Amino acid sequence: MAARSIGSLTISFGLVAIPVKLYTATQSANAISFNLLHKGCGSRLRQQYVCIKDGSIVERDAMVKGYEFAKDQYVSFTPEEIKALEEAGTHAVEISEFVPIESIDPVYFDKTYYLAPDKGAAKPYGLLTEALKETKRCAVGRWAARGKAYIVMLRPIGDVLAMQQLHFAADVRAASEVEVAKPDVKAAELKLARQLIEQQSADTFDPGAYTDELRGRIEAAIQRKVEGQEISVSEIAPESGGKVIDLMEALRASLEKTEAAKVSASKMGPRKAPKRIEQAAKPARKASRR
């Protein structure tokens, strides 16, 4: 099924303007979510807001937004005041610079979109994509949407331009804030660690090799529930923590385990993906008791 555009933009730098179509790159709608139900009758619950001062239920038309500037002290804003503070939406990505792709740490990466050329823009779009690939650079610029301002980077993925939203510097904590003691690494330990890395190395990352096993278990459990079956719940033994290990022995055991896993995987075929949850055409039947 072909992707559907969610909007239009213009990439601009210098005197160049490239009209493009905007597409989502990820599918968050596929996430499994649960609703809150009344345990007694199984009906959906409705969320309500209660005033902590008098305990009354407050309707939405009686609500305003506020900012807590001191303990239990707020300044309130009307919807009109908040709207006036929002960033004006633009239909353009203003490129400010081109930087080496490796100079942007992935910790800054946020949501990703795909861009495709709009009518008459195939040549400049392709030219920009090829130039970025050849120079191994990405474009960094600004974009405003939904009342917010964003930093974005444009980078080629094959023949397609991806627009990656980036976190602002103030939103990313420095790695130096995490205290890590400098260990005394021995040459023999480092050699074994390198061997383990080389043994599990691949030329490229294949995302298709990883499946969401948790999602598969949840879908299977939901399907069993829809069919009226009971789900058995087994207790999980708590993991013991703080165990002192022999690092050299652990590395050697890891090497042996990895090699055995590779041999076993080569004998077995690719794993089948779990089936989707089937919609019940009829009300769920209770499981028969023996």
How large a percentage of the chain has pLDDT more than 70?
Answer: 83
Could you list the beta-strand ranges (E) of the chain. Answer: 7-13, 16-24, 49-50, 57-58, 65-70, 73-77, 92-100, 109-117, 137-145, 148-157, 160-166
Could you give the domains of the chain? 7-26+88-169 (2.40.290.10), 185-197+250-268 (no CATH)
The residue whose two tokens read 């937004």 is 65
Of residues 272 and 179, more confidently modeled: 179
pLDDT at position 234 over 90 = no
For 33-60, give one letter per residue: b (16+ CB within 10 A) or e.
eeeeeeeeeeeeeeeeeeeeeeeeeeee
Residue 29 has pLDDT above 70, yes or no: no
Whole-number Å distance between alpha carbons of 130 and 110? 24
User: How much is the pLDDT for 236?
Assistant: 61
Residue 235 pLDDT class (50, 70, 90 cuts): low
Q: What is the mean pLDDT of residues 91-96?
A: 90
Q: Which pLDDT score is estimated for 190?
A: 87
Q: What are phi and psi of 252, to 5 degrees?
A: -65, -45
